[in-house]
Amino acid sequence: MHNPDWSERQARVIGAEIRRQRTRLGLSAQQVADRCSELGLQISRSLIANTENERRPGVTVAELVVLAAVLGVPPLQLLYPLGHVETVEAMPGRVVPTWDAARWFAGDASPDGLPPWAQVSTQEIFRRHAAEINYTIAARGEAERVAERVASARARMVPGGVSDGEYHAARMAASRALESATSERFIAEKTARRAAQYLKRLRDAIRATGLTPPPLPPSLADVDSLDPGMPENVGGGPAPSGSDWLRVLLSEPEEGE
């Protein structure tokens, strides 16, 4: 009896998940094949059937990606069927929980039973970058809203439609509102400035390691031209390299925590 090697066992897992997802959608193998062709990859009905029926020794990366797109799932789901199998053979002879395998494959973690990552994964760096973009956008939005409250409070500094007897009290209330809004604006603007400077430092550190950071949204187009707000030499010692800066930055709590 043929004893399948690891690559064949992987193909069987993928085939079973393709069948499961295809059945979930109520699609025939021919319909899946047709949709693959529409996406630009020719995959025949018989090839899909052979994959599902464990008659193929392997599945190409291109097939995995396009089949996942047709079935409406991440490619990772076909390789490591989360929610359907408790364990997978992530590497030859290394059976681990499916969730651990998925996180390892995506660069999220180095779980027991699988080789550790030698350095901070690019995925971790880019996830942090995405989080900082969202935080900076939110911080700037809050600063704009507070600035509008300051303008509104300033416009009410000369109360209208009140009697002479009420004028003093109304003026004092307006003054307190303006003072409060102005204080909030100072804090909000400082928070937004620090967030943008941190994002700038993170992007500079990413570039210094030889990577290209993701593009900035239009609302943050100015970030790359900002003063990062941090001296090149901290603590009197030699200036850290880009990779060292990246480790330092990633070890800091995310802005806003």
pLDDT digits (tens, 9 = 90+) for 233-254: 333 344 444 556 666 666 665 5
The CA–CA distances, whole Å, from 13 to 6, 73, 84, 235 equal 11, 15, 11, 54
Name beta bridge partners: 154.
none
pTM for the model stands at 0.68
Average pLDDT over every residue of 22-48: 97
User: For residue 45, with 0-12 CB atoms within 10 Å meaning exposed, 13-18 middle and 19 or more buried, which class applies?
Assistant: middle
- CA 189, CA 140: separation in Å to the nearest integer? 7
Domain ranges of the chain: 6-79, 122-251
Nearest CA-CA partner of 135 in 186, 197, 182: 197
- 141 vs 137: CA distance, rounded Å: 6
Q: What is the pLDDT of residues 1-26, one digit of tens each?
A: 455 799 999 999 999 999 999 999 99
Considering the domain 6-79, what is its CATH architecture? Answer: Orthogonal Bundle (1.10)
